[in-house]
Structure 1
């Protein structure tokens, strides 16, 4: 997905990409090779006429009157087409001065002058220097400049924030082009008798590029969305502090990310990608140059650690555009009434009001649209009311609502919401793992129902569950996906044996479940026999939309706590900051999904890669927490999540998170799915 989310920004990006492509930008870049004085005159004249570099300049000063985010969307679109010349410097300079122009901008004292070789006006920090001298650098599509001498001036923080914000947008455009180019090639290039995109190695590489590109896009979007206009009066330091935090997340994420995606593109292209004739190296050069211009990602990570230790967290406000005004007073009144109850009485009240699952249809929810869902979330959060977790019931009940009979809904839905029924899931088997279609548990038709025999594994809470959702094969002669039926199984039925399964933490959270001729009546079959595979993948059409948040995860907060209380070295502080950045990006992906839903659109790629990135974040951060505590690990006693020794609890968390890349589909399987269903790669 591109950087813009609103319909207007998506339309702006689409139109600018088409316009930019019509200028023949890559041809202009190639024609200017070796020309240090190249001004890319024809392309730049069109850019000026279009006003691309001054979109965020007030209309009264000759600009477009847009936002910094609008400007970022435009830069992403133009970078996607590799528009040459001084666009980035002009956009940065126009924002800083509040008037359009061709600017060369020195962002760091003693550093290069961004686009100084194509500028009419220079915004310099160094003093006593001569005129900037254009240099043909790594990026053939630009002409940055060096200063021949003089004294380095003082740093300008606002200038840095503007520059990194807009450079991150260009990095997002570069990453997007590289991803699309690699995927398009993988769909048509044949080797060994088939499209290379069907090879798992290529599929995984493209999926990893997707993860990185979405991270770059989310971080660049947030930096631009958080930007404080140069000519605006900042109410206190909070807005600038939030922008600085978002910019450091972008600096720690976007530029390394764009380089990695560009490298991945060349890898997928193979030999043709290594040639001068292919455009891929031009995009790699742009990515490398951007990374060099903005400065060290490690320095940004260190600043994130310092900010997090000081209590700064990214707070993303979701603008509901006034759509909440009609519903908020009633929601607030209802929530305050629930909050006034004793804690034990709140669950029933939440269920009665439809606030426990507002996205479910009435009478069990409200059939709430995204706006109402978010307002309810916000008001519950404000009042300190926490919804109870439905756990497996959150998967079982929607299937019953969508596909069950009236009798099944009456029997199971309300008791499950009230917590009177506990559910477990009997899907996975020792020999099938993520490949549910190969399951072997069989169900044989008998008078009045079915007899189930088989073995299930990795079943949470089976030892105390009242009911289970279970997949079993009812037609052994049908194709794998066709002969499976969806059953509701009473866990107190004769023939069920539950055996605890001890995990690497030393605890037994999972179970093996053995089914020995277990009777399930016909009224506990959901839908029709053979519909099980379809039902196993069901979700309600009215999807849950979560309140936007950018909170750090448990282990990242623990790492920040260690950074605040121990004398960590620079390398360790960088490692903490990088985990702060990754956790923030994961949360931003959720925010973008929420905003997309508010705009009436289905989930984009963000929602699909969020699990992959979230797993990486939780595993890496929990491992870092243990590593930061040195050799005390060698002398550790009992390992439990509730241990008095914090290190014991930290190690338990590290060990426990290893399941995250396995449960619910392994990381490798999910990358196959992302490659095929999002990127359209062949099976």
Structure 2
């Protein structure tokens, strides 16, 4: 999905793409590489300006289009996808920084010149001093300064940073061209010797200017990666080896799927950095640093991943991919060392996390008031029953939970009377109201969250009335009898048999890795009802009473020593006809529906800290903080990108758009992050991992990791889904 989430933003990006196709196809860009490196403007620049693409974010009264920075991010992304020369991004960034200035005559003149099409660049280094109005100093190599007709130079005036408007044609200014890595733009060093500055832009905070610049550069990185995903996908579909498309090779499918995952995270991080520009300074810095670490810094490596999927073809001068690779290298270098950014981010997130709230405002006040009244009443009640699984507050039973359940607020998106048919906006209102009451623990259905929707769609009214209310109250517990020793992720290969008998079915088989079976009252069971049908079509979906004769459990102890999983043996277990959901061969479609049940919510990705041990360590005395903060920053950047991915998806759903691939992408990304978090925690808390007792949770957390990595389908299975169902790569 592109940076833009609205129809208007997508139309704007499409207009930029259409312009590039007409005026700046890559063969024309290639023919002008020497001229671009020398600082010459592309031949189509005046036409680009006439369309107003460079000034989308500038105000109407200075000649701009009156749009937002979010709109401008779409222009930058689309321009990067088409590999329009770098002067486009540099000029847009200069305009975005200039809009931060106080409304003064000098600022209006600068904005007017930018709106009229003067190419510009921001020179934001520590190499300039302004003393008594005289500017001197030199920059580090900076993108697009040779083509610029206007420079915004950040300079130190004592302890303050001021912004000087510099004309590169002034005799006191020289711009020394350098051989740039990015062949589609120039690179130069700006030197100023005793320039009397006549125009200053006031009110531009240095940190905010960096955040704006980073957000737009991240949008450019998103565009580069988007091109790579499309190019790789097309190559894998059409390139043949050994008599078949190479896209059928699983290794390449997984590599392409991971490229998509990382591309979507980069886009989400860029979008989040733009979104944060209206928030507090700390939130801006957290989001911008995350975009730098997830979108800009890794872009070169991700383009290299794309290149390796092309093989030697992608390494040739004739292939366009190397131009994108060079642009990605250049973008990453322009923001400075990634390690420093990660350390700064970790220092910030020791005490403040990224705010992923949707900021709904005063929408649907009557619905909010009804929800608030229920939750306020719930606060006056208590739960007095402990769940069979243990003393978990979200599984406790009693008057408080019963009230919330009967109000339809446990799974509000479900139909009445079990839910309230909540729209996406209403679901978020409920989330907000629970968050306003931190002492009120939101009840969980645990495994039943995935089972009950199938029960509601496939069971009789009598069965629903018998099982659903008690489950909502937390009194009836469930397990999922899907996996088998010879059919783990490949559920359709199951061998458990259900044979028709008088009044029902007789089930024989063996299930494994069944969570909570030792406490469950009922289990959702898949069994083969027609051995002669194709394997996906001969399966039934049953509800099994776990106390039935013939159900035997064998606990499976894991590396922690605990037995959270079980083997379940089914020997001539009778299941009444009423406990078959749907038809005898509808099981596969019902199972898919069960596994696909997901609320329109972001709390699972947003509100759970995946790096608690590192955060505690970063706030401890007597430790070497930089390595810990750096690791924490890298993990939080990745985690915040997943948050942003979820928030973007909810934003799209609220806008009435169809669900996208965010769920599958987030599952893979969470898997990656959990591994990274565990590895970093072990490395930085090494002595603590010598002891596995109550004084240290480091080892316990690590030993529980396989359950999270494997449960619900391994990363590899998710990558298969992404490659084949989302990218459309051919099956074997």
Assess same fold via TM > 0.5. Answer: yes
State the Cα deviation string for residues 250-308 of structure 1 (Å, max 9, x = none). Answer: 11111233223311221122222111111111111110110011111111110111101
Match of 2:123 among 88, 99, 106: 106
Matches within 5 A, 1:22-421: 22-35=22-35, 36-98=37-99, 99=111, 100=114, 101-109=118-126, 110-125=139-154, 130-148=173-191, 156-228=206-278, 239-309=280-350, 311-320=351-360, 323-343=363-383, 344-384=398-438, 385-421=440-476
Match of 2:713 among 642, 665, 673: 665
State the Cα deviation string for residues 425-473 of structure 1 (Å, max 9, x = none). Answer: 1110111110111111111111111111111110111111100001111
Asked whether 1:472 is paired with 2:520, we answer no
Residue 194 of structure 1 and its aligned partner are, at CA, apart by: 1.1
Worse-matched range after superposition: 239-248 or 402-411:
402-411
Residue 239 of structure 1 and its aligned partner are, at CA, apart by: 1.1
What residue in structure 1 maps to residue 659 of structure 2?
A: 603
Secondary structure of 2:575's aligned partner: strand
Distance 2:277 2:567 in 1: 52
Asked whether 1:434 is paired with 2:435, we answer no
Secondary structure of 1:34's aligned partner: helix
Secondary structure of 2:122's aligned partner: strand
Residue 157 of structure 1 and its aligned partner are, at CA, apart by: 2.5
User: TM-score normalized by structure 2?
Assistant: 0.87
What residue in structure 2 maps to residue 497 of structure 1?
A: 552
- Indicate if the aligned counterparts of 2:483 and 2:511 stay in contact, CA closer than 8 A: yes
Give unmatched runs, 5+ long, in structure 1. 229-237
Distance 1:317 1:513 in 2: 42
Distance 2:304 2:78 in 1: 20
Residue 547 of structure 1 and its aligned partner are, at CA, apart by: 4.9
Distance 1:163 1:103 in 2: 13
- Indicate if the aligned counterparts of 1:59 and 1:65 stay in contact, CA closer than 8 A: yes
Worse-matched range after superposition: 13-22 or 607-616:
13-22
Secondary structure of 2:560's aligned partner: coil
User: TM-score normalized by structure 1?
Assistant: 0.93
Distance 2:603 2:486 in 1: 39
What residue in structure 1 maps to residue 167 of structure 2?
A: none
Residue 43 of structure 1 and its aligned partner are, at CA, apart by: 2.3
Cα RMSD after superposing both structures: 2.3
- Indicate if the aligned counterparts of 1:549 and 1:588 stay in contact, CA closer than 8 A: no
What residue in structure 1 maps to residue 722 of structure 2?
A: 674
Residue 574 of structure 1 and its aligned partner are, at CA, apart by: 1.4
Secondary structure of 1:57's aligned partner: coil
Secondary structure of 1:226's aligned partner: helix
What residue in structure 2 maps to residue 233 of structure 1?
A: none
How many equivalent residue pairs?
Answer: 665
Secondary structure of 2:540's aligned partner: strand
Distance 1:625 1:270 in 2: 36
Secondary structure of 1:355's aligned partner: coil
Secondary structure of 1:301's aligned partner: helix
Residue 180 of structure 1 and its aligned partner are, at CA, apart by: 0.8
What residue in structure 2 maps to residue 234 of structure 1?
A: none
Name the structure where strand makes up a greater proportion of residues. 2
Distance 2:688 2:219 in 1: 44
Give unmatched runs, 5+ long, in structure 2. 100-110, 127-138, 157-170, 198-203, 384-397
Distance 1:679 1:26 in 2: 25
Secondary structure of 2:300's aligned partner: helix
Asked whether 1:460 is paired with 2:515, we answer yes
Distance 2:603 2:469 in 1: 28
- Indicate if the aligned counterparts of 1:216 and 1:257 stay in contact, CA closer than 8 A: no
- Indicate if the aligned counterparts of 1:430 and 1:455 stay in contact, CA closer than 8 A: yes
Secondary structure of 1:306's aligned partner: helix
- Indicate if the aligned counterparts of 1:367 and 1:542 stay in contact, CA closer than 8 A: no
Distance 1:549 1:525 in 2: 31
Residue 121 of structure 1 and its aligned partner are, at CA, apart by: 0.8
Q: 1:549 to 1:479 in 2, by over 3 A?
A: closer
Secondary structure of 1:451's aligned partner: strand
Residue 132 of structure 1 and its aligned partner are, at CA, apart by: 1.6
- Indicate if the aligned counterparts of 1:214 and 1:605 stay in contact, CA closer than 8 A: no
Distance 1:458 1:541 in 2: 20
State the Cα deviation string for residues 618-647 of structure 1 (Å, max 9, x = none). Answer: 23213322321223423x144xxxx2x0x2
- Indicate if the aligned counterparts of 1:168 and 1:250 stay in contact, CA closer than 8 A: yes
Distance 1:137 1:627 in 2: 38
Q: 1:657 to 1:197 in 2, by over 3 A?
A: same
Asked whether 1:619 is paired with 2:669, we answer no
- Indicate if the aligned counterparts of 1:314 and 1:551 stay in contact, CA closer than 8 A: no
What residue in structure 1 maps to residue 132 of structure 2?
A: none
Q: 1:425 to 1:246 in 2, by over 3 A?
A: same
Q: 1:136 to 1:322 in 2, by over 3 A?
A: farther
Residue 129 of structure 1 and its aligned partner are, at CA, apart by: 7.1
Q: 1:542 to 1:476 in 2, by over 3 A?
A: closer
Match of 1:590 among 633, 646, 654: 646
Q: 1:525 to 1:393 in 2, by over 3 A?
A: same
Residue 85 of structure 1 and its aligned partner are, at CA, apart by: 4.5
Secondary structure of 2:593's aligned partner: coil
Secondary structure of 1:579's aligned partner: helix
- Indicate if the aligned counterparts of 2:57 and 2:72 stay in contact, CA closer than 8 A: yes
Worse-matched range after superposition: 546-555 or 16-25:
546-555
Q: 1:334 to 1:244 in 2, by over 3 A?
A: same
Secondary structure of 1:383's aligned partner: coil
Distance 2:215 2:596 in 1: 37
Residue 22 of structure 1 and its aligned partner are, at CA, apart by: 1.8
Distance 2:193 2:244 in 1: 60
Secondary structure of 1:286's aligned partner: helix
What residue in structure 2 maps to residue 6 of structure 1?
A: 6
What residue in structure 2 maps to residue 508 of structure 1?
A: 563
Secondary structure of 2:26's aligned partner: helix
